[in-house]
A = this chain, B = another copy of it.
Amino acid sequence: MLRGMNEFDLIAELFAPLAAGYPGALGLKDDVAFLDQRPGLDIVTTVDAMVAGVHFLAKDPAGQIAAKLIRVNLSDLAAKGAAPFAVLLAAAFPRGVSEAWLRAFAQGLAADLKAFNIALIGGDTVATDGPLTLSVTAFGHVERGRALLRSGARAGDTLWVSGTIGDGTLGLRVALGELTDLDSGQRAMLLDRYRLPRPRIDLGARLVGLADAGMDISDGLVQDLGHLCRASGVGATIEAERVPLSEAARAVLRSGQTTLASLLTGGDDYELLFTAPPEAEGAIRALGGVSPIGRVEVGAGVRVRAGGGAVIPIVSGGWSHF
């Protein structure tokens, strides 16, 4: 229970309205919620935890923390081709958190739930002597048996990503006060990319039936491709010069303040990584906002090749699978 505040009153006032429109949430007045089952659809679920100082900065705006929390989970669902419909929230708020902060958090939550047309269907709020610690469990629907899994990649598939790669990790550096020589528009863009992931829900849904495998990029392109390759029992080669970079990322690269290897292994992209047979290329290009960046191969491990064909050595913290 929050100091000087009644947990139940807080939940009723700030969170209960977020359950509106979803009868199975029981108005957040029970201990449980009912999941919406629909004929022909699988229910997929995922959970992500975030800790202040690790996954976001404690000084980040409360509403943006709430939005990031929701979006990292929706990004996981999007990568499977699933349409999100509900979330559960478990929140450990630091003792002494202000009502103003909580209201801003709830407003950010409300705005995102509305934007993505999903409901808060339950949760648990506790107090902690430690940092703000949050977890969201998200639920989505996808055509039965057709979700894009990590394990579906096949040798010969083309490797694709959505959006641009490396902006999230540069945005964190902006948030930390670095990269001050960039122009303000580029700094703002990178910061936004770090704070507000855009889950590629529409794209993911359209990839069902076209792509063989999919996941979102949260830990870094190379690491996450490594996970996908292991789950699928394949290898992959990234052609570095085909990896889409934003103008801002190119500017930082030119200034010598980052390396291509850093961009390919930095976290917080929240773009989709997927593989598809070569014959799907036309249909996939037509979706827009996607780039082929390499190929899935027989074998294991991830290689990154420069334009001339030379392998770019990449070593990132703790990860040494190639």
Contact = CB atoms under 8 A, between A and B. Distances in A.
Nearest to A145: B34
B129 A31 contact: no
Interface in A130-169: 130-131, 133, 135, 137, 147, 149-151
A184 interface: no
A68 interface: no
A99 to B, nearest CB: 15
Nearest to A41: B37
Interface string A28-48: 011111110100001111111
Nearest to A130: B130
Interface stretch (A50-58, A251-259, A305-313): A50-58
Nearest to A213: B30
Contacts of A319: 6
Contact of A32 (B54, B76, B128): B76
Contacts of A91: 49
A123 interface: yes
A227 B27 CA distance: 13
A151 B32 contact: no
A129 B131 contact: yes
A32 B44 CA distance: 6
Copies of this chain, how many?
2
A35 B31 contact: no
A1 B137 CA distance: 20
A288 interface: no
A129 B47 CA distance: 21
Q: Point out which of A45, A76, A150 has the most chain B C-beta atoms below 10 A from its C-beta.
A: A45
Contacts of A123: 47
B90 A48 contact: yes
How large, as a class, is the contact surface on chain A?
A: 35 or more
B32 A77 contact: yes
A190 interface: no
Contact of A137 (B6, B37, B47, B130): B47
A125 B54 CA distance: 12
Contact of A318 (B1, B37, B80, B122): B1
Interface in A163-198: none
Contacts of A30: 80, 149-151, 215, 231
A127 interface: yes
A83 interface: no
A224 B146 CA distance: 43
Interface string A210-243: 0000011000000000010011000000000000
Contacts of A131: 128-130
Nearest to A53: B129
Q: Point out which of A26, A37, A55, A127 has the most chain B C-beta atoms below 10 A from its C-beta.
A: A37
22 contacts: A6-B319, A8-B227, A26-B150, A29-B150, A29-B227, A29-B230, A30-B80, A30-B150, A31-B76, A31-B80, A31-B216, A32-B44, A34-B45, A47-B123, A51-B127, A51-B129, A90-B90, A90-B135, A124-B135, A128-B130, A129-B131, A130-B130
